[in-house]
Amino acid sequence: MRFTKELSKGFIKDNPIFILVLGLCPTLAVTTSVMNGLGMGFAATFVLLCSNIIVSMIKKITPPKIRIPIYIVVIASFVTIVDMVMAAYLPALHKSLGLFIPLIVVNCIILGRAEAFASKNNVLMSIADAVGMGLGFTLSLVVIATFREILGAGTWLGVRVTPLAYDPMLIAILAPGAFITLGFLMALMNMLKEKK
């Protein structure tokens, strides 16, 4: 019962981007296309899952005073693995995500979940938490990227969806479009919450 609750909370109730407002840097930087959003989402989910498992396994032997450096080393190791695997097998995606792959280390979602959840709960719950939060993050990235890619390039996942007469608004995939899109989506989220 609790397992499914921990798994599902990341999608709406505790959504890392729209409700907790964590990890905004990669969110805004990589959502220029749905493909990039998916890539970043899965990379972060993988790191979150692995680091949650390890942190929750070592929670009894972690000295509380130096726990943050320990968590950072665990996270950084998995980020390095993701970085190298992506460079080897998905070079195009690796190139377009660029700097933001090593920067997964400082993504507040991952350190936040290690500190707030995995260090206090058992391995099974930590897995549920990581998968839920990771997929919630991925889903939010895809939603933002959907708006930006359709408005800014007229495509979705690279396939043209708008009529040819539509002249794409370039601003949606530039930096200002990122802020404005997320601002309106968050306002929409607040409105829906109030109506309930």
Partner 1 sequence: MGYLGELFVMAMTAIFIQNFVLARFLGLCPYLGVSKKLDSAIGMGMAVIFVMTLASAITFLINKYLLIPYDIMYLQTIAFILTIASLVQFVEMVIQKNAPALYKSLGVFLPLITTNCAVLGVAILNTTAFRSDSVTAYNFLDSVLNGLFSGVGFTVVLVAMAGLRMRMEMADLPKSMRGMPIALIIAGIMALAFYGFMGFQI
* Contacts to partner 1 by CB under 8 A: 21-22, 24-26, 28-29, 68-69, 72-73, 76-77, 79-80, 83-84, 99, 102-103, 105-108, 111, 171, 174-180, 182-184, 186-188, 190-191, 194
Measured from the CB atom, is 122 or 190 closer to partner 1? 190
Task: Provide the minimum distance between the beta carbon of 89 and partner 1 in the complex, in angstroms, as a whole number.
Answer: 16
**CB-neighbour burial class of residue 115 (10 A; exposed 0-12, middle 13-18, buried 19+):** middle
For 94, the token pair is 């690796």
Measured from the CB atom, is 104 or 127 closer to partner 1? 104
- Pinpoint the alpha helices (H) of the chain: 2-8, 24-30, 34-57, 67-89, 91-97, 108-113, 123-153, 175-195
Task: Say how far apart CA 73 and CA 96 lie, in whole Å.
Answer: 26
Measured from the CB atom, is 12 or 106 closer to partner 1? 106
Task: Provide the minimum distance between the beta carbon of 92 and partner 1 in the complex, in angstroms, as a whole number.
Answer: 18
Task: Provide the minimum distance between the beta carbon of 151 and partner 1 in the complex, in angstroms, as a whole number.
Answer: 13
- For the four alpha carbons of 45, 57, 16 and 22, in that order, the dihedral sign comes to negative
Task: Provide the minimum distance between the beta carbon of 146 and partner 1 in the complex, in angstroms, as a whole number.
Answer: 18
Measured from the CB atom, is 112 or 123 closer to partner 1? 112
Measured from the CB atom, is 19 or 34 closer to partner 1? 19
C-alpha 137, offset from chain centre:
4
Q: Residue 121 in contact with residue 56, Cβ under 8 Å?
A: yes
CB-side neighbour CA atoms (13 Å) of 126: 26
Q: Where is 160: in which H helix or E strand?
A: strand 159-160
